[in-house]
């Protein structure tokens, strides 16, 4: 594990995980009330790219209109949440930090719920109303947390500020739900437990730019993010502009989280568990950890969504239930393990 071969570690792990991710996505598309073969999936995707259509229109519709956008969206949401989790954990030097602890997800969820409930700004923003409100309130939550934590922004105060802001935004969200009518309540319920059901291609294209630019920017800064593991003072002594780097990284991770919450609601445990597991497998170097966690997060959420929609057919579970049911015991087990090793 010398410093020079991080690139070979990255190549090996991301190659393996990309293969596994593609296989998981193909399997997820095949699995469902209408059984399809992997060959069908391949043919539909190929026909879209080549323009030659030699596929049954019904199969084409199921794959291209229904299952593929859902699977692609689940993968992107998983990648965004896991990537954001890596940044928060790395910056705060706390394996328990993630978008939820910082109150960012609750801000985004409140924004989405407000947009659905009031419809404010729909005339101007159109289809972007829900994501725009999610961004605005997630950023508000972040700035509240940063403001509360003060100029020094010590790790402990930052996390405590996150807890306070999260409690406040959570209460507001419950309030919005309480005054909402039954029909709206069902839609808002989505933002609480999270779901990628009934998603279309425009949902996927809405999150794509934030995911690609966000992950790219964070990866370019991953060398500096490594130095934060020595403490903020030492990072500063090694030439990192601590406050600027931390602000850019926090904002980027918040935008990735808000984009994910806007299209899928608050899905828990991805940003907590995935970076944790991948750190054990690939080591703490963020140049490797970030891309590898994004791929693993994508795979995890695709698998979780497949379970959510097939396990109680024809009813669907919210995906957040599945991730929490898998994630919480797993995390408890990891926590015990790390406590015993101390």
Partner 1 sequence: MVNIRNLWKYDGDRPLLRGISLSVAPGEMLGVIGPNGSGKTTLVRLLSAEENPEAGEIRLGGRPLTEWSARERARQMAVLPQEGLPPTPFTVEEVVSMGRHPHRGWWPWSGSRDAEAVEQVLEETGLQSNRNRRVDRLSGGERQRVAIAKAMAQQPRLLVLDEPTTYLDIAYQLSVLDGIQQWRRREGLAVLVILHDLNLAAQYCDRLLLMKEGALFAEGTPGQVLTPERIWEVYGVQPVLTEHPVTGAPQVLLTSGEQAPAENRESAVPFPL
> Which stretch in 51-59, 125-133, 229-237, 322-330 sits in contact with partner 1 by CB under 8 A?
229-237
Q: Which of 4, 151, 315, 340 binds partner 1 (CB under 8 A)?
A: 4
**Least CB distance from residue 75 to partner 1, whole Å?**
24
Contact criterion met (CB below 8 Å) for 243 and 146: no
The CA distance from 15 to 29, in Å, is 21
Q: Which of 108, 188, 227, 261 binds partner 1 (CB under 8 A)?
A: 227
Minimum CB distance to partner 1 smaller for 3 or for 126: 3
> Which stretch in 45-53, 135-143, 220-228, 304-312 sits in contact with partner 1 by CB under 8 A?
220-228
Q: At what angle do helices 242-264 and 129-149 cross, to 10 degrees?
A: 140
- Residue 85 interacts with partner 1 (CB under 8 A): yes or no: no
**Least CB distance from residue 293 to partner 1, whole Å?**
15
**Least CB distance from residue 230 to partner 1, whole Å?**
6
- Residue 233 interacts with partner 1 (CB under 8 A): yes or no: yes
Minimum CB distance to partner 1 smaller for 40 or for 232: 232
Contacts of 45 (CB under 8 A, 6+ apart): 63, 68
- Residue count of the chain, please give it: 342
- Residue 279 interacts with partner 1 (CB under 8 A): yes or no: yes
Q: At what angle do helices 104-118 and 242-264 cross, to 10 degrees?
A: 40
Minimum CB distance to partner 1 smaller for 83 or for 131: 83
- Residue 219 interacts with partner 1 (CB under 8 A): yes or no: yes
- Residue 154 interacts with partner 1 (CB under 8 A): yes or no: no
> Which stretch in 194-202, 218-226, 268-276, 307-315 sits in contact with partner 1 by CB under 8 A?
218-226
Instruction: Please classify residue 189 by burial: count the beta carbons closer than 10 Å to its beta carbon, then call 0-12 exposed, 13-18 middle and 19+ buried.
Output: middle
Instruction: Please classify residue 225 by burial: count the beta carbons closer than 10 Å to its beta carbon, then call 0-12 exposed, 13-18 middle and 19+ buried.
Output: buried
CA distances from 116 to 130, 134, 176, 198 (A): 7, 11, 10, 16
Q: How many residues bind partner 1 (CB under 8 A)?
A: 29
Peptide bond into 40 cis (omega under 30): no
Tell me which residues in 238-267 interact with partner 1 (CB under 8 A): 238-241
Contact criterion met (CB below 8 Å) for 187 and 170: no
**Least CB distance from residue 226 to partner 1, whole Å?**
7
Contact criterion met (CB below 8 Å) for 145 and 162: yes
Site of interaction with partner 1 (CB under 8 A): 1-4, 7, 93, 219-220, 222-224, 226-227, 229-231, 233-234, 236-241, 279, 283-285, 287
């Amino acid at each position: 594990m010398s410093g020079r071969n991080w690139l070979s570690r990255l190549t090996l792990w991301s190659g393996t995980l990309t293969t596994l991710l593609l296989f998981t996505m193909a399997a997820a598309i095949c699995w469902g009330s209408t059984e399809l073969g992997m060959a069908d999936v391949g043919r539909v995707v190929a026909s879209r790219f080549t323009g030659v259509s030699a596929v049954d229109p019904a199969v084409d519709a199921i794959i291209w209109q229904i299952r593929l956008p859902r699977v692609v969206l689940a993968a992107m949401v998983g990648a965004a949440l896991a990537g954001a989790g890596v940044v928060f954990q790395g910056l705060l030097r706390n394996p328990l930090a993630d978008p939820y602890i910082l109150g960012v997800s609750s801000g985004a969820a409140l924004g989405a719920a407000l947009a659905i409930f009031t419809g404010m700004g729909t005339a101007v923003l159109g289809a972007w109303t829900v994501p725009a409100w999610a961004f605005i309130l997630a950023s508000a939550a972040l700035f509240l947390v940063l403001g509360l934590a003060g100029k020094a922004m010590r790790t402990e105060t930052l996390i405590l500020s996150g807890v306070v802001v999260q409690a406040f935004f959570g209460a507001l969200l419950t309030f919005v739900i309480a005054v909402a009518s039954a029909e709206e309540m069902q839609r808002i319920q989505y933002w609480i437990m999270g779901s990628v059901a009934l998603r279309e291609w425009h949902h996927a294209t809405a999150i794509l730019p934030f995911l690609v630019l966000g992950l790219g920017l964070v990866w370019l800064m991953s060398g500096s993010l490594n130095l934060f593991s020595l403490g903020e003072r030492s990072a500063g002594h090694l030439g990192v502009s601590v406050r600027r780097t931390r602000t850019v990284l926090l904002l980027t991770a918040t935008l990735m989280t808000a984009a994910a919450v806007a299209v899928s609601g608050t899905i828990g445990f991805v940003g907590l568990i995935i970076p944790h597991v991948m750190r054990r497998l690939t080591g703490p170097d963020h140049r490797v950890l970030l891309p590898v966690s994004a791929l693993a997060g994508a795979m995890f959420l695709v698998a979780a969504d497949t379970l959510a929609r097939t396990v109680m057919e024809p009813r669907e579970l919210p995906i957040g239930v599945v991730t929490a049911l898998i994630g919480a015991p797993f995390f408890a087990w990891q926590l015990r393990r790390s406590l015993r090793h101390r």
